Structure 1
């Protein structure tokens, strides 16, 4: 696996949100020392804790107050944090219009978790087209891992996302070599559960 060390603020804040205390604490333990880590043991608590100081949210989907609702609230409130869905919920085509930045299916290797966070910290400095491109790329990648080629081809949502990603790629003002390096690093992360 290609690992690119990306620079970011040494005090980047990561909010871990999971209603299973042991899971949230395990992720927090992995991340401490490298990031300023906060934990929220459920969706409602996450909404009490999240603020402008949070850089990345690791958000479980399957909670009594769902991660999908937390994500919608974070975006409605205008917080500029990056959101990585970290979940055992296999994605379906309903994720197409969800405003997350990355999607990782549990169980997640430590190196993939760190790589995803680092990429989101770097992405925070990009302009909107590149950010949108990587969000779409994450959705396309996780759906490709979870669905058959026939299902993907039959999905108008998937085809629409693919077209939009191609349009964005054509618009991006990023040197080709740097872009290819970013894509290689981004796609090296194992996002799927299968």
Structure 2
């Protein structure tokens, strides 16, 4: 798997049932300006994931050669297990809502992502694909949008059709399979 595909897949799957989807649902119920919500998600994700990716590139200098495959596969399995723990909405001060859809979405998403699964995954992905850091940033950002844009537009309908518990368990299974595949693949996952 290349940097973009790994990054996109990891984040899109990790976001299933995450607190940011609950935040997307809340913002969509609060504001009519769906485009402004999505723009806020985009800006917050770019800032958060760019910082995480550059941290990953810096950390990669300390990772011994040959460990990237184990680190990436192990992180997929760790995220799989983390997915089984339901998130609570701890997005912080709702006073930002008075500043409108874009600003509220940007601030709340940025704060919700600090220390969450996806920035940590971005750090690990960037450390594994240090020569393709921009592809990691683009992949994780588009993965975040792929998981949250449908919720902004059709969130309440989706929640009626799909159980969050089922979605988390399914995503967990996919992550475990991907982690084992990465660890067991004969070739070292190489940057680019």
- Give the TM-score normalised by structure 2: 0.30
**Counting helix residues as a fraction of each chain, which structure ranks higher?**
2
**Counting strand residues as a fraction of each chain, which structure ranks higher?**
1
